[in-house]
Copies of this chain bind each other. A is one copy, B any other.
């Protein structure tokens, strides 16, 4: 596949502009961007997938309704308030769409809305009105980066990426922005992530592509085991690249999904490495499982273990905690065949063979684990199933951030 990363994010594909500004959604915030608009100059095919949490933000409910026809032209997103578990949440989410629709002269049914931040506090609508007013004449290609910033909460770096591929002889761009950080244990949807493309793809194929690409990327990230109430992954396809519209699972569809998956995997790593309080990215690669499901279950169990996460923070090459997490994963595993390695830029070291902890150089292990990106390689030696999951270490700062989040 012809694939390369390019500069930019959601405004990289043809037809899209965006902006993000500080609207002071939280009155105390007077500097951080917290309101974003993404706009396409043509009506797009669109799809979205959402959190599996039974408690859902009203923004999700409104977006679900607006996407029933598989069409969208704009996205409005705020940070600083999740608009979840509020008595007037649905009404506020609808108001946000109306405000954006009016300013951009599009139908409110074609606006996607999302919110992220504190749950259970009433969303003030005045800042949204003022903020949209400020942005409406100022949606640009350059504004994409501001939009990426505006959806951040406790994120410390913004997540935007874009890639270029070829489909049907046409150059196609795909752009992504995302926010993550805490309450991250992604399940079918993701935190917030917005994807744009100029490819021509039907709404139904967009939806299938999202599910398929998220499966091995976003859905394999966990920061703290808590599945958010606001997870939203939405895609808009302008069709401006001029390729023959993808309406079935043909070769073009496969190329498109592969490109999405590559992008999402990179973003997934960034979400994990910028998890709340995180100092290290943790990648757990499992192979040799009986099935892919077993591989995924084992990989997730390891990256979700508080004890493994704390050990990685302490650069402690603990073998027992990895085996322990494999043992309680609930997957079909023969622990007596299991080998475990730690790997980073400084090298690779085996700590477990055939389910038994083995002797290794503590010095070498420490050197490997002091790096910023740590791989845990697990070979179950029992089949061909494989999977990769993304997490981070558990640190003092995670506790600090979450012991005092609302105040």
The chain A residues found within 8 Å of chain B, CB to CB, are 52-56, 82, 84-87, 118-121, 182-183, 185, 187, 224-229, 304-307, 310-311, 313-314, 316, 318-321, 323-328, 333, 335, 352, 355-357, 394-396, 398-407
Contacts and interface: CB of A to CB of B under 8 A. Distances in A.
Residue from the set A52, A352, A399 with the largest chain B CB neighbour count within 10 Å = A399
Contacts of A395: 399
Contacts of A356: 85-87, 120
Contact of A402 (B55, B119, B306, B324): B306
Nearest to A183: B307
6 contacts: A82-B320, A120-B318, A183-B324, A226-B324, A229-B320, A307-B402
A130 to B, nearest CB: 25
Contact of A55 (B305, B307, B355): B355
Contact of A324 (B229, B304, B318, B400): B229
A79 to B, nearest CB: 15
List the number of copies, as a whole number. 2
A27 to B, nearest CB: 16
A227 B324 contact: yes
Secondary structure at chain A's binding surface: helix, strand, loop or mixed? loop
Name the residue in A183, A185, A187 with the highest tally of chain B Cβ atoms < 10 Å from its Cβ. A183
B402 A320 contact: no
Given A225-B306, A402-B310, A328 B53 contact: yes
A85 B405 CA distance: 40
Contacts of A86: 356-357
A316 B404 contact: yes
A399 B405 contact: no
A109 to B, nearest CB: 26
Given A225-B304, A226-B305, A314-B403, A357 B85 contact: yes
Given A55-B335, A120-B323, 12 more contacts: A54-B333, A56-B327, A82-B320, A85-B319, A86-B356, A120-B356, A183-B321, A183-B324, A225-B306, A226-B328, A306-B306, A310-B403
Contacts of A224: 306-307
Chain A to chain B: the 3 pairs with minimum beta-carbon distance, closest first: A119-B320, A120-B357, A314-B403
A350 to B, nearest CB: 13
Nearest to A119: B320
Contacts of A323: 55, 85, 119-120, 229
Contacts of A120: 318-320, 323, 352, 356-357
Contact of A403 (B187, B316, B326): B316
A209 to B, nearest CB: 25
Contact of A321 (B226, B333, B399, B404): B226
A395 to B, nearest CB: 6
Contact of A225 (B84, B305, B321, B403): B305
A401 to B, nearest CB: 8
Contact of A326 (B55, B183, B326, B396): B55
B399 A310 contact: yes
B327 A54 contact: yes
A320 B404 contact: no
B119 A324 contact: yes
Contact of A313 (B306, B310, B352, B399): B399
Nearest to A117: B320
Nearest to A319: B120
In this complex, which of A310, A311, A400, A407 has the most chain B Cβ atoms within 10 angstroms of its Cβ?
A: A310
Contacts of A52: 328
A120 B355 CA distance: 10
Contact of A405 (B118, B311, B319, B404): B311
